[in-house]
């Protein structure tokens, strides 16, 4: 007793802080505001288990593959996150990505268009689908579930029609698009430079905000805590980049995906549009009464989702170097939606961040990669992914229930 007390005394402040943090954690667990914690924990568990089962799993080569595989479906997931935030769903992202891939292939290979033009048209195809969904939803009030379920089938039909009799088109593998998705990696020095620049920019923005808040007499983050956090982030990211650089390094396509996430995060948290998206997801009626043009927000969400799905389709086609009738079918849809939910985007709307796309897709791809390494076939992969999805939804709805119970004082 006395021994433990005397041991605690010099560490009193630190111990108090730990206790506060623990109490805070318990409190947040109860009240259902866990944030990214369950995902990060889940990812740690998944990685540990697969590493024990197969030591290749955490090798840098495999992790490089994993990040590169994340880019395509991750981009689609980002769109799903936005649609989930307004409290709707898009079940047809897979078909839209397939349609965009088909348009890209036909324009590039058969019509011999420049790559950029083909990509633009492919993305535009997605945008048009999103406009159609948004129109059907806001004009006729059909549930998005039904619209996009119809779209799942209808757009697959369009994809098959676009592909025509060929059925399968190979992209020229010397095209820069294919090279970009398959073989372009950041040189080691560039990866560190990007990380340092990003962390510095983030810390600078935080410092500026802290100064403004200090001047405005509001609570603000101390310079020390900002610097410490920035250094910690820097260490983690540099270590990760270093590990990936042992193999091929950081894929450009993965970097592009992360960049999209950062942009989406900015738009969602720092603009009026983003605030409106959360408001609509939280309570449409409240948003409408606050003067938000709810229909436009819905429309923008559907358009962004389909557009990002189309962009993801291009990335997927470029990585595989081929487009076929099965592009975007099979598990693309459910992987993207599962990743969004696992990452923390609530199915009930209004909760989640753009980072859910990154975290969620890492989980999904880890499971997929780990099971492939164990030479288990897709039956097991589907079952495990399905189980993880259900788990994520359980966490989502129980935390929602807990919020309802504990939310009111």
The footprint of another protein (CB under 8 A) covers 31, 33, 209, 212-213, 216-218, 266, 270-272, 275-276, 278-279, 281-283, 285-287, 289-292, 350-351, 403-404, 407-409
CA distance linking residue 85 with residue 241, whole number of Å: 31
- Which CB, 224 or 408, lies closer to another protein? 408
Euclidean distance between CA atoms 300 and 127, whole angstroms: 10
Q: How far is the CB of 283 from another protein (least distance, A)?
A: 5
57 versus 220: smaller Cβ distance to another protein: 220
Least distance between another protein and beta carbon 402 (Å):
11
Residue pair 303/127 in contact (Cβ under 8 Å)? The answer is yes
Q: Return the number of the residue (8 or 213) whose C-beta is nearest another protein.
A: 213
Q: Give whichever of 197 and 286 is closer to another protein, judged by the CB atom.
A: 286
Using left for φ > 0, alpha for ψ between -120 and 50, and beta otherwise, residue 293 falls in: beta
Least distance from another protein to the Cβ atom of residue 403, Å: 5
Indicate the Cα dihedral angle 338, 342, 348, 354, nearest 10°: -100
Hey, what's the torsion of the CAs at 335, 340, 346, 348, to 10 degrees?
-50
Question: Cβ of residue 159: shortest distance to another protein, in angstroms?
Answer: 36
- The nearest distance, CB 352 to another protein, in angstroms, is 10
CB closer to another protein, 141 vs 291: 291
**CB 254 → another protein: shortest distance, Å?**
27
C-alpha separations of 238 from 194, 245, 350 in Å: 10, 10, 33
Residue 346 near residue 83 (C-beta atoms within 8 A): no
Coil, strand, or helix at residue 322? strand
């Amino acid at each position: 007793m006395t021994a433990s007390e005397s041991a605690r005394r010099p560490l009193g402040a630190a111990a108090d802080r730990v206790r506060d943090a623990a109490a805070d954690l318990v409190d947040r667990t109860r009240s259902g505001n866990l944030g990214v914690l369950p995902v990060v924990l889940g990812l740690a568990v998944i990685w540990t288990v697969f590493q024990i089962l197969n030591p290749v799993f955490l090798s840098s080569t495999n992790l490089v593959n994993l990040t590169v595989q994340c880019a395509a479906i991750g981009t689609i997931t980002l769109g799903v996150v936005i649609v989930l935030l307004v409290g709707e769903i898009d079940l047809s992202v897979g078909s839209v990505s397939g349609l965009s891939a088909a348009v890209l292939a036909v324009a590039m290979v058969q019509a011999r268009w420049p790559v950029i033009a083909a990509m633009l048209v492919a993305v535009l195809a997605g945008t048009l689908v999103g406009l159609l969904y948004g129109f059907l939803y806001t004009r006729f009030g059909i549930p998005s579930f039904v619209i996009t379920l119809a779209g799942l089938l209808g757009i697959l039909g369009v994809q098959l029609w676009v592909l025509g009799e060929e059925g399968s088109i190979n992209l020229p593998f010397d095209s820069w698009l294919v090279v970009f998705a398959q073989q372009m990696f950041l040189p080691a020095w560039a990866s560190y430079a990007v990380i340092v620049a990003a962390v510095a920019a983030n810390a600078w923005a935080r410092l500026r905000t802290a100064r403004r808040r200090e001047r405005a007499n509001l609570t603000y983050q101390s310079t020390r805590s900002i610097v410490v956090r920035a250094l910690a982030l820097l260490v983690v990211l540099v270590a990760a980049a270093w590990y990936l650089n042992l193999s091929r390094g950081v894929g450009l396509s993965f970097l592009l995906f992360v960049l999209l996430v950062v942009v989406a995060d900015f738009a969602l948290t720092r603009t009026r549009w983003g605030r409106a998206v959360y408001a609509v997801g939280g309570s449409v009626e409240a948003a409408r009464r606050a003067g938000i043009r709810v229909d436009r927000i819905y429309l923008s969400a559907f358009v962004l989702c389909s557009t990002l799905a189309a962009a993801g389709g291009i990335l997927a086609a470029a990585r595989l170097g081929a487009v076929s009738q099965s592009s975007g079918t099979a598990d693309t849809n459910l992987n993207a939606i599962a990743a969004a939910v696992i990452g923390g985007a609530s199915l009930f709307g209004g909760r989640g961040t753009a980072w859910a796309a990154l975290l969620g897709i890492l989980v999904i791809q880890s499971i997929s990669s780990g099971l492939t390494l164990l030479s288990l076939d897709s039956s097991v992969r589907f079952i495990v992914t399905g189980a993880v999805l259900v788990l994520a939804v359980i966490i989502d709805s129980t935390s929602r229930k807990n919020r309802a119970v504990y939310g009111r004082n």
